[in-house]
Amino acid sequence: MRSFWKELPILVVIALALALLIKTFLVQAFSIPSDSMQDTLQRGDRVLVDKLTPWFGSEPERGEVVVFHDPGGWLGESQTSSSGPVAEGIQKALSFIGLMPSAEEKDLIKRVIAVGGDTVSCKRGGKVMVNGKPLDEPYIFPGNTPCDEKPFGPIKVPEGRIWVMGDHRQDSLDSRYHQNLNDGTVSVDDVVGRAIVIAWPIGRWSTLPVPSTFDQPGLGAAAMAPSALGFAGALPIVLWRRRRLIAKVRTEATSRPQRLTADC
């Protein structure tokens, strides 16, 4: 029994170190503080966010639910905490190792609608359009419209940035409402990671897959259009020049006297 009490502090340190490692590089839990992602996410849900794949160069893709740092003023003025210094100290310690959400970090969670190179827009009474393709959005909160309360675009999303929107469109101050700053887009450098699963409460456990509407053919075609058009435009010119060269060679060959070689 004595050896157990001697080893307990070491086990605690190892456990805390592993928790800090997991929170920093692998997975972190986040609490949903608002209704902006209903019905996909409810206030009070706990989601697990994949922080590993960005380390390998992965960037957010259309349809993913992502957590990102406040790009600047999206959350407004943060309210001061009313808890005492002891409670604040405990929360800071636990949030440092990933066991509690941080009261200081200003993070948001939204769905990626468009990525760098895309053109996104939405007219009142219509659907959200990405590169000319309409999105079928069954995840939108019942009774909401895609953008009637805040039409936008067309907006060309710069490379290295994303356009995000909440699933509860009438209760989400997303990219539509911050077009005064980088046209409402968010830098991929501000993205913490992708929310992959609802972990709590147990009765709401589920994964967060990419909706099928983002897999429709041609959705990403606009990003390749310039190169494709350039190739299509250059091909006839190349073929025309080749035909002229062949015709020239044939003309010279028929007009030039043939030289016979003798076998001496």
| Residue tagged active-site, from 23, 51, 110, 133 | 110
Closest of 68, 88, 106 to residue 194, by C-alpha: 68
Active site residue 187: no
| Residue tagged active-site, from 3, 23, 34, 36 | 36
- pLDDT digits over 141-186, tens only? 999 999 999 999 899 999 999 999 999 999 999 999 999 989 999 9
Gap between the Cα atoms of 96 and 5, Å rounded: 26
Confidence (pLDDT) at 243: 62
Neighbouring-strand partners of residue 162: 115, 186
- Mean of the per-residue pLDDT values of the chain: 76
Q: How confident is the model at residue 26 (pLDDT cuts 50, 70, 90)?
A: low
Whole-model pTM?
0.69
Give the residue, 17 or 58, on which the prediction is more confident: 58
Closest of 155, 164, 158 to residue 62, by C-alpha: 164
Closest of 39, 105, 38 to residue 67, by C-alpha: 105
Active site residue 36: yes
CA-atom Rg of the chain in angstroms: 28
Backbone angles phi, psi at 147, to 5 degrees: -165, 20
